[in-house]
């Protein structure tokens, strides 16, 4: 069923004036739980891009998997603002729900394109400053310890991603942080906690024992010959009782 939805987003930018943006959307309503909502019995699945593909190839892969995963985390450190804007336009044109997109680090791009999810790396903008200036954004933070996780929640983060949990080619030579701290983080935080780093489908049972809210997967999906099939395997494990 087609519809028109009028959404009012109010925020205070770094300059002194306030701006109100009205978005007019037309399409089919899709019920998507926000990234800041806990996972419940089923783990949420975040597909993280790996900065390995040209814009159009990357867009094609995201379009293939967007209806399988819960979120697509765009982590393209080498791409320019222009390339990221082109990517987001391609995704919009191909009906990828914009509230499924998480922009890594690039707050400027997120604001220009009315994204609602921004993820800040450890070295990125202060979470508290971003939340105070743009309170409607869902802001996540990468963490590597219990202390960093506690600090992130105190500074108004909506969720954290903890890693890296297992050995991964993305962090060659670096010892994994393991999952012991992940269990402790889940005990002390009230916001959602996601696991990342070398996660294979077979790791899902032990991660469920840690009671994480979801997983973030990069190479396991985007380095696969068939990203959609790979995403389906992960989602099957995320939603199964095994």
CB 59 within 8 A of CB 49: no
Over residues 81-132, the pLDDT tens digits come to: 999 999 999 999 999 999 999 999 999 999 999 999 999 999 999 999 999 9
- From 66, 119, 164, 203, the catalytic residue: 164
**Confidence (pLDDT) at 38:** 83
Of 59, 126, 129, which is closest to residue 95 (Cα–Cα)? 59
Confidence (pLDDT) at 225: 96
How would you class 128 by CB atoms within 10 Å of its CB: exposed for 0-12, middle for 13-18, buried for 19 or more?
Answer: middle
Instruction: List the one residue out of 124, 186, 201, 181 whose CA is nearest residue 153.
Output: 186
Phi/psi at 20 (5° precision):
-120, 130
Mean pLDDT throughout 53-74? Answer: 98
Active-site annotation holds for 33: no
What is the pLDDT averaged over residues 150-179? Answer: 88
Q: What tokens does 173 get? A: 């030579």
The predicted-structure confidence for 44-63, as pLDDT tens digits, reads as follows 999 999 999 999 999 999 99
CB-based contacts of 157, cutoff 8 Å, min separation 6: 127, 131, 139, 140, 141, 191
- Per-residue pLDDT for 21 more than 50? no
pLDDT at residue 75 greater than cutoff 90 = yes
* Per-residue confidence (pLDDT) for residue 32, from 0 to 100: 65
What is the rounded distance in angstroms from the CA atom of residue 216 to the CA atom of residue 119?
12
Residue 68 reports pLDDT greater than 50: yes
Interval 187-191 mean pLDDT: 97
Is the confidence at residue 25, as pLDDT, over 50? no
Burial class from Cβ neighbours inside 10 Å (0-12, 13-18, 19+) for residue 162 reads buried
Q: Which of 73-77, 125-129, 164-168, 186-190 has the lowest mean pLDDT?
A: 164-168
Structural domains present in the chain: 33-239 (3.20.20.70)
- Tokens 């996780």 belong to 149
- Would you state the pLDDT for residue 217? 98
More confident residue, 86 or 33: 86
């Amino acid at each position: 069923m087609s519809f028109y939805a009028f959404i009012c987003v109010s925020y205070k930018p770094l300059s002194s004036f306030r701006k109100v943006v009205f978005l007019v959307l037309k399409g089919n309503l899709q019920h998507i739980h926000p990234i800041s909502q806990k996972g419940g019995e089923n783990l949420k699945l975040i597909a993280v891009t790996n900065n390995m593909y040209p814009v159009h190839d990357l867009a094609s892969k995201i379009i293939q998997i967007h209806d399988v995963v819960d979120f697509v985390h765009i982590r393209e450190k080498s791409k320019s603002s222009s390339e990221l804007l082109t990517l987001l336009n391609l995704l919009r044109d191909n009906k990828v729900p914009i509230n499924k997109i998480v922009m890594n680090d690039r707050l400027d791009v997120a604001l220009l394109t009315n994204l609602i999810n921004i993820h800040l790396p450890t070295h990125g903008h202060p979470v508290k400053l971003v939340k105070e200036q743009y309170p409607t954004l869902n802001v996540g933070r990468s963490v590597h310890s219990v202390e960093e996780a506690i600090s992130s929640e105190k500074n108004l983060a909506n969720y954290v991603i903890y890693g890296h949990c297992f050995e991964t080619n993305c962090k060659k030579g670096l010892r994994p942080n393991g999952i012991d701290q992940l269990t402790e983080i889940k005990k002390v935080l009230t916001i959602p906690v996601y696991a990342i780093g070398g996660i294979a489908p077979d790791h899902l049972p032990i991660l469920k024992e840690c009671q994480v809210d979801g997983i973030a997967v990069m190479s396991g999906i985007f380095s696969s010959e068939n990203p959609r099939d790979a995403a389906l395997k992960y989602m099957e494990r995320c939603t199964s009782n095994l």
